Amino acid sequence: MTVLDLGILISGRGSNMEAILSSIINDKSSQVTPQIVISDNAEAQGLRIAAEMFGVPVLAIPGRGLRGWEYDSKLAAALEQHGVTPAKGLVCLAGFMRLLGPEFVRRYSARIMNIHPALLPAFPGLHAQRQAIEYGAKVSGCSVHFVDEGTDTGPVILQRAVQVLESDTEESLASRILYAEHELYPLAVRLFAEGRLSVEGRRVRILGQSQTGA
């Protein structure tokens, strides 16, 4: 029985998408069905990976010239056609470079996740790894959060810290953070599918988690 219909939105490489799809395939008891991967960029490498490695339906919806709901309504229609409905779907943003407008966010309220390569609320927006280095942070990391109407402001689901080394460049820090992202995002999807995430205001409670954090 399908418990959760998943849609993933990407714009490029798609390594987080790949980590999510791999974890679903490798988990024999997974209750998640990846229904569609959509990109605003027809050249996105992740589209090929989704189709060729995982056999997931893919769709390019180029965004040029389309603003706000003009674009978002196309996304919503495509997701719903593929079974990713506001009632029983989950939309994962995985390197999706467009901001979703309020209509879309309200429609899929508490059913859209994003991954950000910093420990929010630090370093939101673009170039989070560069921001962390330039700020002189000793620790950064990644955050999976629900999407609200702001940019990287929604309730945090999971975070993982990564040390910033003196020798780090933007690229070296990004690649260590990415490694952590690939563990964290599939875990967040699994917790959602298991019905273990409950949002209370800004706080996301993880049901069944021991107080020691296990």
What residues make contact with ligand GRF under the rule CB under 6 A? 10, 12-16, 94-95, 115-117, 178, 181
Query: Looking at beta carbons, which residue is closest to ligand GRF?
Result: 95
Q: Which is nearer to ligand GRF, 77 or 187 (CB)?
A: 187
Is residue 4 within 8 A of residue 32, CB to CB? The reply is yes
**β-pairing, 4-10 with 89-93?**
parallel
Tell me the sheet residues that pair with 33: 5
141: its two tokens? 């990391």
Q: Is 116 a catalytic residue?
A: yes
Helix (H, G, I), strand (E, B) or coil at 97: coil
Is it true that the peptide bond before 86 is cis, omega within 30 degrees of 0?
no
Rounded least distance, CB 120 to ligand GRF, Å: 11
Shortest spacing between CB 179 and ligand GRF, in angstroms: 11
Inter-residue contact 211 to 199 (CB < 8 Å): no
Give the C-alpha separation, 88 to 35, whole Å. 12
- Residue 92: strand pairing partners: 8, 113
What is the smallest separation between the CB atom of 103 and ligand GRF, expressed in angstroms? Answer: 22
Phi, psi of 201 (to 5 degrees): 65, -125
Measured from the CB atom, the residue of 111 and 116 that comes closer to ligand GRF is: 116
Residue with Cβ nearer ligand GRF (14 or 89): 14
Shortest gap between Cβ of 17 and ligand GRF (angstroms)? 6
Catalytic residue annotation: 116
